[in-house]
Structure 1
Amino acid sequence: MSESQERMCAIVEPSKVADFLAVCEKWDVLATVIGEVTDGDRLTVDWHGERIVDVPPRTVAHEGPVYERPMRRPADLDALQADDAARLPRPTTGAELQAHWLAVVSSPDGADKTWVTEQYDRYVRGNTVLAQPEDAGVVRIDEESNRGIALALDGNARYARLDPYAGAQLNLAEAYRNVAVSGAKPLAVTNCLNFGSPEEPEVMWQFAEAVRGLADGCRALGLPVTGGNVSLYNQTGEVPINPTPVIGVLGVHEDVRARVPSGWRNAGETVLLLGETRPEFGGSAWASVVHGHLGGRPPAPDLTAERSLAELLGALGKQGLVSSAHDLSDGGLAQALAESALRYGVGARLRLTGDPFTALFSESTARVVVTTSDPGGVKTTARWAGVPVTELGTTGGDVLALDGVLDLPLAELRAAWTATLPALFGSPGVAVGTVPAGTVPTS
């Protein structure tokens, strides 16, 4: 086995070793018996008959070398946080709002990823029941019970640059929410923590703050970290990447046939926003795409609200009260509406209360857009969970219409959303159309 391959250690009862090795052989996994659990308080390792290790196990697992690297808060962070994105010029007309909306959804981060993902088999052995561009991937693992797992990965480097402690929690919350919108119960966390050189005190501070934020966030959500990875020295010369803690959350579906997709399929359904919107634009996609700006503070994590929202989504999924659910994160409501409508080419007529700019581009956390044919049932269940609900409008047509503000044809939206990656990768003019209903598993 090469050093680049994934490896793991398993403890197996002696009577089951042969069966374990047979399963590994079936799946072409190299497995070797390397030792046995013994009585006593010593860890021993023999090599060709010679004992080369004889130590108390704790000295290996818990008392290894500890680096005490110097840490220092970045010198520019106070000025960066003081540069509030709320002061940036905002669109004031419907035409300007539409232009900013198209800019956000056609940015490399917001654009359709199908050009990339359709080059790979994402329906391995036919047991993938939700795949990109859904919020979470869902795989059936038992064909008799239809039990399955959901997995989502998220990492926003802008948030972590502005506040690595909060940024790690925001990435955790987004992955947690993406699993929950599919109807699964989030159960475990993994991670890939990407930073510059830890020999630089400012980078080491970012790394320590992100780890602390992730640990506190997992405690608040009641999720164990079951594994992870750290990638350091990511920089060009002396310039490090923005701190990028990528967080993965895994959840369980008792029955994947009850999973909830993200796209709108049917006309005449009610569109509801779950959660509270506040004017939060620090590190937002809008500020970055439209103004090339990074500053202010990221949205405030609210892990209590995230837990309540996840419990609500689980209940709605089990009761069959929602036909779709899509989380709000990078790009805010504008991005979520675009992706929900373009998934199957179903528009909507919506009414936004208050400032339409804040409604569209704020990136407040713990929010999800759902569609339903039973809005009363959803509202009743949401009151039970303590989650605010705002009725936005009704699905249907080939336009995303905001009453009194703008009418955005889906054709224009799709053209902007699909053209970016083909153009960047050398295929200008190639656009990906609506995913036909028959290409997605329905059972």
Structure 2
Amino acid sequence: MLSARSATTVRATLPAVRGAVVEIAGRFYETMFAEHPGLLNLFNRGSRASGEQRKALAGAVVAYAEHLTGTGDVPMRSVVSRIAHKHVSLGIKPEQYTVVGRHLIAAVKEVLGDAVTPEVASAWDEVYWLFAVRLIAAETRAYQRDGIDPHHVSAPWKVVGRTEEAEDAVSLLLAPTFGGVPAHRPGQYVTVTADLGGGVVQARQYTLSRAPGHDTLRITVRRVRGRGDAPDGTVSTFLTRDVRVGDLVGVSRPAGDTVLDTGSGPLVLVSAGIGITPIAALLEHVAAVRPERPVIAVHAEREPGRHALREHVEEHGARLESFRSTVCYQRGDLPPGAVGGRVVPDDIPVPPDATAYLCGPVPFMRDVRTSLLRRGMPAVRIHFEVFGSDLWTTGAEQLPDPALAAAD
């Protein structure tokens, strides 16, 4: 709990911090990486270049400050869980929070200048450490529960299979070089560490696109094509273009909290693009262990040639006693049973007592979630997975970004 004195100070300074927090986060990353260049390998260079990374950090800090002062409505339990799972998959260690805290408070002072009195700095330092301690506790529990050494979260796995799934999308089968496939749940992801040469190592999270129960793990990766001045995704390009059977990549233990519930009610699985990956794993698992459970699947794709894992979904959907599938293509020749145009959220069926799982671009998921809520589905039964920096959960999308404004 935030001390009473700090709470008063944080409430008074929240508007100023919120207005400058993205600039603060940008300055934080700049100074931290200059002093600790080894940390660059833990962060997505593409997200850093686009500004998503600084907005994600800014959103989380502001949301937690609002939570502590009773002025916000962001569900911090889910935010902490998402961040902790990602940190465990990357091997974030408690001592790194000290480095982050020092540079973050220094950035606050630098950006806000004389407005940051010792009292203000102390109050925001308290906010940071309350957040950090909560994350450290969640991550420590996870490390201990799963027997993970945070200094060695990644192990070499061999690529034993490669399938061209669709345009720009490749599935890779990964086998451990020692031990077996770790226990995991449908909907989880692994961190894949790629050595890109020249001392550049980058880590990305990829959802497991098959259910548990196999002697390999499968990831399905879509190559990220750059738009405008943005370059192609480095790791997705490496995995889809360069990696071949027999190569080794670093793989973490599975993590992630968007996992299948244990209920028996209907499932509504809604995806778009490569967001089909967790949906494919969920569907396969239900077909194997609860084939009597009704499933409604809705998928949106630009065109048929980009539809990854279509055969996987059809195969396992056919094993269910009740399976309704709708596929919407925005363009191209439509295969039998497909629908032309975009997914209309209000047309997605909502059976009583249904649970929904969403994965795709954030605007798509937001529209679907809004529709489900409006039609009576409780928020606790709507689960979603955000690929990349999570700007949605904390409301970081709405934060002003001076760097992007200047670019416009």
TM-score, with structure 2 as normaliser: 0.29
Structure 1 or 2, whichever has the larger Rg, is: 1
Question: TM-score with structure 1 length normalisation?
Answer: 0.27
Flag the structure with higher helix content. Answer: 2
